[in-house]
């Protein structure tokens, strides 16, 4: 059954599961086998391999609004939305029009274009914490550059990150905990020299005492970086009081506070998590939504810090494809739609809440523990007896139960993130009817797997 899905209603994209009309995902299976011959693991990003949920990854042919269509012509309601950036769903006409118009003039020049300035100005106007911003090509690059800038600005080497927070795959951030609750990190991947991670201290999410211990262990901390709404241990928001204490601690010790909003930026609210918690970081990193689906990242902050970047300052950072006209045009189009839709976030949060409360209710009916969380258009759920406040809590979740749920929902025509430790997203193309159908399907799946 892991390579099958019930044939769906092609007009509505919602599974009606008619008997005798099972369609096999044979084309995806064959495509995956071919991919494994020339691509490590058959994928260009590990989570796509479906290893944590079992079965064959679904190969996608195209997207349409709220739906994904695979190469076997099966349709799914998409709650991943390319891991966040497609806030207006797949193939938004306005964003596509902007991309086509820009691409006809050239894909990249390696030279300045006016669209860079326009997008930078729009973001700076929205955020009191951002005087200047620089664009890059990915979230990983944005975080890597922001940390280098923080080190250059402070003249210090050490950084603090939190267990369970993902900030990309640069060497300094691929760390795991040592023997203590707060200690210097050791590499979590072969190929990362210990010398690169010895300057990274690990603290516990939502635990200010663990951060204080880091500052006791080192007097050379340049910055603390955190996802204010963690999205890569599942959706785990930081407590507002914790973030304020974090800011105070950084100021007391002369360290910078970096908010990694690559995932939550323009997703949790118009101003991301920063707009919800009212804590002012020194630097913010972005990605996802500001590219409108194109590969984009950015980092910004106060002028005196940003002016340390080359060519104005000594901290070097560069990128040939940074600020390319196609990505900038897509971002401008997306941001224009976001800022002109004043009630959009309220509507998205209502739908995310409806979905999470519905899943929670149906799971409870059959005695399955489920913890749920919502922030704006972001949602997450854990098969867990207890509330999840940090990575240790998240690791207590029943990943086998999640895998069964994921498989069942995929077979019902609903595409969720293929890991217990990822966040889901609502797009403007997802309607209340889709949510209700999803809850009905989940009720059936929960009964099958209890």
Q: Which residues does the annotation mark as catalytic? A: 166, 260, 288
Cα–Cα nearest to 58, from 26, 10, 20: 26
- Using only C-alpha atoms, the chain has a radius of gyration, in whole angstroms, of 22
Both structure tokens of 262? 């690559």
Both structure tokens of 433? 């009817």
Burial (CB count within 10 angstroms: exposed 0-12, middle 13-18, buried 19+), residue 328: buried
Are 207 and 241 contacting, i.e. CB atoms less than 8 angstroms apart? no
- Cα separations in angstroms, 4 against 22, 26, 67, 275, 441: 7, 8, 18, 43, 16
Residue 329: phi, psi to the nearest 5? -65, -40
Are 247 and 274 contacting, i.e. CB atoms less than 8 angstroms apart? no
- Cα separations in angstroms, 144 against 119, 149, 204, 312, 405: 21, 9, 21, 19, 35
Could you write out the DSSP letters of every residue in 258-278?
EEE-TTTTTTTSTTTTHHHH-
How far is residue 383's CA from residue 399's CA, in Å, rounded to a whole number?
7
DSSP run (H or E) holding 76: strand 75-78
How far is residue 190's CA from residue 167's CA, in Å, rounded to a whole number?
18
């Amino acid at each position: 059954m892991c390579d099958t899905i019930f044939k769906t209603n092609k007009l509505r994209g919602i599974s009606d599961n008619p008997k005798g009309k099972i369609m096999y995902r044979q084309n995806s299976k064959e495509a995956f086998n071919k991919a494994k011959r020339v691509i490590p693991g058959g994928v260009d990003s590990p989570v796509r391999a479906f290893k944590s949920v079992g079965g064959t990854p679904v190969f996608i042919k195209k997207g349409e609004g709220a739906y994904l269509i695979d190469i076997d012509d099966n349709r799914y309601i998409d709650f991943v939305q390319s891991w966040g950036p497609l806030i207006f769903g797949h193939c938004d006409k306005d964003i596509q029009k902007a991309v086509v118009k820009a691409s006809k003039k050239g894909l990249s020049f390696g030279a300045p274009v006016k669209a860079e300035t326009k997008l930078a100005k729009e973001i700076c106007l929205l955020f009191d914490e951002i005087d200047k911003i620089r664009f890059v090509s990915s979230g990983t690059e944005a975080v890597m550059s922001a940390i280098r800038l923080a080190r250059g600005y402070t003249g210090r080497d050490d950084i603090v990150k939190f267990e369970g927070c993902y900030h990309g795959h640069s060497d300094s951030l691929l760390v795991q905990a040592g023997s203590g609750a707060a200690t210097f990190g050791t590499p979590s991947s072969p190929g990362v020299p210990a010398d690169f991670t010895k300057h990274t201290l690990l603290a516990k999410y939502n635990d200010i005492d663990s951060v204080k211990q880091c500052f006791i262990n080192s007097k050379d901390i340049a910055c603390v970086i955190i996802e204010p709404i963690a999205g890569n241990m599942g959706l785990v928001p930081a407590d507002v009081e914790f973030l304020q204490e974090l800011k105070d601690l950084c100021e007391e010790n002369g360290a910078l506070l970096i908010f990694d909003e690559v995932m939550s930026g323009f997703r949790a609210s118009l101003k991301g998590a920063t707009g919800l918690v009212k804590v002012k970081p020194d630097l913010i990193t972005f990605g996802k939504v500001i590219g409108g689906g194109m590969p984009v990242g950015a980092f910004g902050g106060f002028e005196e810090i940003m002016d340390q970047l080359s060519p104005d300052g000594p901290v070097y950072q560069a990128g040939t494809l940074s600020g390319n006209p196609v990505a900038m045009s897509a971002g401008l189009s997306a941001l224009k739609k976001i800022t002109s839709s004043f009630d959009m976030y309220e509507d998205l949060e209502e739908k995310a809440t409806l979905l999470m409360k519905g899943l929670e209710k149906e799971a409870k009916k059959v005695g399955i523990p489920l913890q749920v969380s919502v922030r704006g258009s972001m949602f997450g759920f854990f098969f867990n007896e207890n509330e999840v406040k940090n990575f240790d809590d998240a690791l207590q979740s029943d990943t086998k139960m999640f895998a069964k749920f994921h498989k069942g929902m995929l077979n019902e025509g609903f595409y969720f993130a293929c890991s217990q430790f990822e966040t889901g997203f609502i797009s403007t193309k997802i309607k209340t009817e889709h949510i209700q159908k999803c809850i009905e399907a989940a009720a059936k799946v929960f009964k099958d797997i209890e």
